[in-house]
Amino acid sequence: MDQVTERIAAVLTGKFDVPADLITARASFQDLDLDSLSVVELYVTLQEEWGVPLDAEAATGDVTVGELADEVRTLLDGRRPGDD
């Protein structure tokens, strides 16, 4: 598990009470029993933490942990030095 996925997993277990053994890259947020509000809250939490413009309005329960991690990585890679 890479650092981004590890951090998402840590937020899911720590804040959203998701059992760690359920969290895989293929698991959707629906699989993890997150309702629509929790999914948006997850995006807001990660957006705050990494300072990346995640699109919370596009968040749905069908998105998987792996897809979110990919989106975060893409945004982090796209940031220019000094953007913070």
Positions touching another protein (CB under 8 A) are 15-17, 36-38, 40-41, 44, 47-48, 53, 56
Contact 6, 49 (CB under 8 A): no
Using the structure block, give the residue that is written with the tokens 């893409």.
74
Closer residue to another protein in complex, CB, 1/60: 60
> What residues does 65 pair with on adjacent strands?
none
Give the nearest distance from C-beta 53 to another protein in angstroms: 8
Give the nearest distance from C-beta 16 to another protein in angstroms: 7
Cα(33)–Cα(40) distance, rounded to whole angstroms?
13
Phi, psi dihedral angles at 13 (to 5 degrees): -75, -45
Closer residue to another protein in complex, CB, 39/65: 39
Sign of the Cα pseudo-torsion (67, 72, 73, 74, in order): positive
Give the nearest distance from C-beta 46 to another protein in angstroms: 12
Closer residue to another protein in complex, CB, 16/50: 16
